[in-house]
Amino acid sequence: MIKDVACRSGFSAATLRYYEEIGLLPEATRTPAGYRLYDDRTLERLAFISRAKQLGCSLDEIADLTVAWDGGRCGPIQDRLRAVVADKLATARQQIVELMTLTSDLQQAASTLETHRPEGACDDKCGCVIDSSNTTAPQLVTLRRKSHRVQVDVPIACTLGSQSMRGRLDEWQRLLEHVEQRASIDDGLRATFGPGTPLGELGELVRLAAAEQDCCQFFTFAITVDSRGVALEVRAPHDARPAMHSLFGHPA
């Protein structure tokens, strides 16, 4: 019955009725009393719909995917889903660029607002009216002592402009295609490159890591060579982990 399916699928009863109304679910059979009856195939279909929603698919996209799902063969489903995921991934990367750019702009604005506070009305140096992206006001950092060492808290922001950031992300994505394994390490991620990675690409790894350290100082990079192969180790503060995983991937 619909209440049981709602509990097992995670969808509300109202959502199940709506999905049936728009054709995402086949029309349910009913008891003589008018109650909806669902079979195991409906639960499997709902699990597929749930997964598609997790990947950011719209209802229209899910409706198209369920056509392939109804065919009962995984291959065609994967073909369609792969195209949808590729499109979603491109959109997500663009959103990362925009969000990191906004974060950088906000950090610069916060710094600007701390550097000049006129007694009277706002002036041409006031952070309320000037474009902080064009200001040379220094970013503020906080020094703290921990375990007899001085650490510097840097803003979780990238200093690259949107166009440069987009190019940088493309460079990383091309290079990271050679990664064979990703594993968790303390505070970060280890990406191990395959033995067939061209030497020129490994040289590019050094250049990119140095460039990234310059614009995203909240990352810490180390390039290691041992029996496991050549690897890039990336560490970041807890608040920067989403940015780290978006750029360098998730551990397997």
What CATH number is given to the structural domain containing 213? 3.30.1240
**Cβ count within 10 A of residue 157:** 23
Residue 83 lies in a domain: no
Residue 140 lies in a domain: yes
Residue 5: exposure state from Cβ atoms within 10 A (0-12, 13-18, ≥19): buried
Give 179's pLDDT tier (boundaries 50, 70, 90): very high
pLDDT given at position 181:
92
| CA nearest to 85, candidates 52, 60, 44, 63 | 52
Chain centre distance of CA 220: 19
pLDDT over 50 (residue 151): no
Range of the domain at 148: 88-153
Residues 65 and 115 in one domain: no
Domain termination site, one of 106, 121, 153: 153
Residues 168 and 217 in one domain: yes
Residues 243 and 174 in one domain: yes
pLDDT over 70 (residue 147): no
Give 143's pLDDT tier (boundaries 50, 70, 90): very low
Residue 44 lies in a domain: yes
pLDDT given at position 103:
65
Residues 145 and 117 in one domain: yes
Cα angle 74, 92, 131 (rounded to 5 degrees) comes to 175
Task: Compute the mean pLDDT over every residue in the chain, rounded to the nearest whole number.
Answer: 80
Residues 204 and 133 in one domain: no
Give 101's pLDDT tier (boundaries 50, 70, 90): low
pLDDT over 60 (residue 152): no
pLDDT over 70 (residue 146): no
**Contact call for residues 25 and 9 (beta carbons, < 8 A):** no
| CA nearest to 213, candidates 198, 242, 235 | 235
Residues 142 and 182 in one domain: no
Residues 100 and 175 in one domain: no
**Contact call for residues 26 and 60 (beta carbons, < 8 A):** no
CATH number at residue 18: 1.10.1660.10
Residue 137 lies in a domain: yes
Residues 140 and 181 in one domain: no
pLDDT given at position 170:
86
pLDDT given at position 150:
38
pLDDT over 80 (residue 234): yes
Residue 82 lies in a domain: no
pLDDT over 70 (residue 130): no
Residue 27 lies in a domain: yes
Provide the token pair at 209: 């890591």
Residues 147 and 166 in one domain: no
pLDDT given at position 163:
74
Strand partners, 224: 231
Number of domains in the chain: 3
pLDDT over 60 (residue 69): yes
DSSP 129-166: TS-GGG--PPPP-EEEEETTEEEEE--S---S-HHHHH
Residue 230 lies in a domain: yes
Residues 240 and 181 in one domain: yes
pLDDT over 60 (residue 118): yes
Give 148's pLDDT tier (boundaries 50, 70, 90): very low
Residues 172 and 242 in one domain: yes
pLDDT over 90 (residue 79): no
pLDDT over 80 (residue 231): yes
Residue 80 lies in a domain: no
**Contact call for residues 206 and 223 (beta carbons, < 8 A):** yes
